[in-house]
Amino acid sequence: MTQERNNAFRNSVFFAVVIILLIMAVVGWYWSREPEAPQVVHSTPQPLVIGSTTTQALITITETLLDKPGGYLRNDMTPPSIIMDNMSNWEYGALIQARDMARALRNDFSRSQSQSTEDGDLAVAESKLNVDDKGWLFPAAETEYRTSTKKLQAYLERLSDTQSPNAQFYARADNLNSWLGLVGKRLGSMSQRLSASVGQERINTDLAGDSAASQSTSAPSNVSTQTPWTEIDNIFYEARGSTWALVHLLRAVEVDFKHVLEKKNAAVSVKQIIRELEASQEALWSPMVLNGSGFGLFANHSLVMASYISRANAAVIDLRSLLTQG
């Protein structure tokens, strides 16, 4: 009788564990779904003014990180989110772009010149958005990011108040060019990291283009780079999150910088960048990120992503060139 009870108990425990694992798998699958391609949406009832679209886009990106299924997962310490590294890295990629835009809003877009005073709400928003992305206690990342969103919303409301000029957004070619310079660096870095999935021997070009250039310590003329196989999917999903956020921000830039882009005959360049980045958001039909060789039998999803990002980066370089012309 005792043996039968023990067997029944073990069976109960086994089935309970199986059920728990199945539930966790379903929840993990649901939480791992990437948000849909972003659209330009205005939630403020005030009249549409210059800068409101870009500010709203940043708010939407941050709110998506916090309010999507499962919420913000990168700092979770419990299953199933603790093992969901793909979504965690997707969040980090989107967060990096949000941080860059918050910095641009604080330092460039909201200031008429280098001697002007920074906006108080944007200063707090930018600093809160830069807390440790894995912090889960004192302070928790979600709490700080929520505060950042509220400060951005306060700036948006003041910006949209046509009767009060204490908040401004300056849509100028030099401001846009400054932010695009940072975008280009991010895209270039992502492209290199994705391409390193197959391993490459590269010539060191760190000092190319300047005969008087120097660096702190010497470096080899040839550099070998290869992403560890355990990090390939992490970099891939980080790039997915980053390009997702960039599509949203660039669509907003199309609206707020419409006159600047038309004057520079650069509107089509922005559309081309958006098209390349949208292509990087196509559904991944494979159950895992494949890492075949460049011309091998199997696909290499990292190289495909790197191709789209490289073309987008080339278009960013062309756009910056147009913006610097008279």
User: Please, which pLDDT band fits residue 37 given cuts at 50, 70 and 90?
Assistant: low
- Is residue 120 within 8 Å of residue 91, measured between CB atoms? no
Question: Per the omega criterion (within 30 degrees of 0), is the bond before 80 cis?
Answer: yes
- Report pLDDT digits (tens) over 62-72: 999 999 998 89
What is the pLDDT at residue 45? 46
What is the pLDDT at residue 191? 93
Q: CA 147, CA 144: separation in Å to the nearest integer?
A: 5
* pLDDT of residue 237 exceeding 90: yes
- Report pLDDT digits (tens) over 55-64: 999 999 999 9
N- to C-terminal Cα separation, the chain: 92
186 or 15: which leads in pLDDT: 186
- Is residue 117 within 8 Å of residue 148, measured between CB atoms? no
User: Please, which pLDDT band fits residue 224 given cuts at 50, 70 and 90?
Assistant: low
What is the pLDDT at residue 80? 77
**Residue labelled with tokens 């951005």:** 152
Q: CA 272, CA 252: separation in Å to the nearest integer?
A: 15
- Report pLDDT digits (tens) over 172-221: 999 999 999 999 999 999 999 998 888 776 676 666 666 667 777 777 76
For the chain, what percent of residues have pLDDT higher than 70? 90
* pLDDT of residue 288 exceeding 70: yes
* pLDDT of residue 38 exceeding 60: no
Q: Which residues make Cβ contacts (< 8 Å) with residue 169, sequence separation at least 6?
A: 49, 50, 51, 52, 54, 55, 105, 109, 110, 159, 256
* pLDDT of residue 27 exceeding 50: yes
Q: How many CB atoms neighbour CB 276 within 10 A?
A: 22
pTM above the 0.85 mark? yes
- Report pLDDT digits (tens) over 99-148: 999 999 999 999 887 667 889 999 999 999 999 999 888 889 999 999 99
Q: CA 306, CA 235: separation in Å to the nearest integer?
A: 11
- Is residue 288 within 8 Å of residue 249, measured between CB atoms? no
